[in-house]
Amino acid sequence: MNRGKLVFAQLMQHLPLTTFRRCVTRYRGAFKVQSFSCLDQFLCMAFAQLTFRESLRDIEVCLRAQSSKLYHLGIRSAVARNTLANANAVRDWRIYADFAQSLIGIARPLYAQESFGVDLQETVYALDTTTIDLCLSVFPWAVFRTAKAAIKLHTLLDLRGNIPTFIHISDGKVHEVNILDQLLPEPGAFYIMDRGFLDFERLYRFHEAGSFFVTRGKSNLQVQRRYSHPVDRKTGLICDQSVVLTGFYSHQGFQAPLRRIRFKDPETAKTLIFLTNNFVLPAFTITELYRCRWQVELFFKWIKQHLRIKAFFGTSENAVRSQIWIAVSAYVLVAIVKKRLHLPASLYEILQILSLTMFEKIPLDQLLAQTISEQIQPVSDNQLILFT
């Protein structure tokens, strides 16, 4: 009989609990708390994310059915729907935001040598925003339109490992370009973004900091060509030019030269115009970098499908933010475990296995390695032939 720890407890062993306690102390999360601690709340919500629970009552029923194992899961208090709802509404969401950032700080070095499709040593980020629609009558604080509520998830994704390094949650009215003001440019890094972030005054701050950006040019962009560089048209490149902005406001915001690349996508036959402040990389590499921006779209699609960030357990702003940050923590935690245990499987496969084995006592590395390595065996020649 296996007398080891439960799978859920083994997974939570990878959490830096000392850092978590510091986050709780920083925001006074334990103030007037007698039984159901912030750690209990985090573990219950993480359990809900990893096992695809649909509601607070769903969480309560599942955990109470295994009440004899709660202590071994790390949960020191009885789980009640009202207690968990109150904790989500009252406990400061910044506790879980700071803790998620600490997990991100652990995960990024683990994936520092990962390839993302372009042979480049520098750090490459993809910046984008996704909108999560809400009901205005239930979430009146999430103002978006006259008859609709929504929140926006602004995300800066490190393409090495698809680890989110910056996340900002806002109501639906905040335009995505404003997020550039909150980013601290990293010298030498590449920032890939779509046309929604095209603000030359803000981009010039990245240019002055020594960062590089790759974005799409708008159709009405006014530029003057200074130089044209030779290109290989067999690759789909049309031109590679050094230009300066001639529009009144754009020139005032960005007076330095820019690089303008026209490219015809052989798959869609669309002509795309790219703008960048990097004049060193080959033009085709710039187009490949922008193609990698699609990974942030896949990241949004993945977390919406496999984590609980579209249907919320609470209606207050604090509850929504807490749930999103705990979902991010669960995602990053699984990414950390995947790397530490050297698992070749995808995060999706690992999540599916974990969702069914949380109360088992199989060693985590053995469980994931054996389950993933099992292949469908070929039909044996010794089996009876039913039809001839």
Residue-wise pLDDT for 176-211, tens only, equals: 999 999 999 999 999 999 999 999 999 999 999 999
Which pLDDT value is given to residue 117?
85
pLDDT tens digits for 110-124? 999 888 888 888 999
Which of the four pLDDT bands, split at 50, 70 and 90, describes residue 218? Answer: confident
Mean local confidence (pLDDT), 138-152: 92
- Strand partners for 242: 227, 259
Residue 376 has pLDDT above 80, yes or no: no
- What are the residues whose beta carbons fall under 8 Å from the beta carbon of 292, sequence distance 6 or more? 116, 117, 118, 124, 126, 159, 192
> Per DSSP, which regions of the chain are E strands?
124-134, 143-145, 148-158, 163-171, 190-193, 212-216, 223-229, 237-245, 258-264, 271-276
The three-class DSSP label of residue 15 is coil
pLDDT tens digits for 160-182? 999 999 999 999 999 999 999 99
Residue 300 has pLDDT above 80, yes or no: yes
- What are the residues whose beta carbons fall under 8 Å from the beta carbon of 334, sequence distance 6 or more? 11, 50, 347, 350, 351, 354
Which pLDDT value is given to residue 372?
54
pLDDT tens digits for 250-279? 999 999 999 999 999 888 889 999 999 999
Q: Are strands 190-193 and 124-134 parallel, antiparallel or unpaired?
A: parallel
Backbone phi and psi for residue 361, each to the nearest 5 degrees, phi listed first = -115, 25
Which pLDDT value is given to residue 119?
86
Encoded tokens for 202 = 């803000």
Mean local confidence (pLDDT), 40-65: 94
Task: Give the Cα separation of 195 and 218 in Å (integer).
Answer: 7
Mean local confidence (pLDDT), 147-160: 94
Which of the four pLDDT bands, split at 50, 70 and 90, describes residue 337? Answer: very high
DSSP state of 209: T
Sign of CA dihedral 49, 52, 58, 63: negative
Residue 380 has pLDDT above 80, yes or no: no
- Strand partners for 368: none
Task: Give the Cα separation of 9 and 368 in Å (integer).
Answer: 15
What angle (nearest 5°) sits at the alpha carbon of residue 53, between those of residues 48 and 57?
Answer: 100
Residue 353 has pLDDT above 80, yes or no: yes
Task: Give the Cα separation of 230 and 114 in Å (integer).
Answer: 32
Which pLDDT value is given to residue 384?
41
Which of the four pLDDT bands, split at 50, 70 and 90, describes residue 220? Answer: confident
- Max Cα separation, the chain? 82
pLDDT higher at 130 or 378 = 130
Which of the four pLDDT bands, split at 50, 70 and 90, describes residue 370? Answer: low
What angle (nearest 5°) sits at the alpha carbon of residue 117, between those of residues 116 and 122?
Answer: 60
In a 10 Å sphere around its CB, with 0-12 CB exposed, 13-18 middle and 19+ buried, how is residue 312 labelled? buried
Which pLDDT value is given to residue 369?
77
Residue 377 has pLDDT above 50, yes or no: no
Which pLDDT value is given to residue 375?
46
315 alpha-carbon distance from chain centroid: 23
Which residue ranges form the domains of the chain, and what is each CATH number?
Answer: 7-95+313-373 (no CATH), 116-298 (3.90.350.10)
Task: Give the Cα separation of 259 and 280 in Å (integer).
Answer: 10
- What are the residues whose beta carbons fall under 8 Å from the beta carbon of 54, sequence distance 6 or more? 308, 311
**Mean pLDDT, rounded, of the chain:** 90
The whole model's pTM is what? 0.90
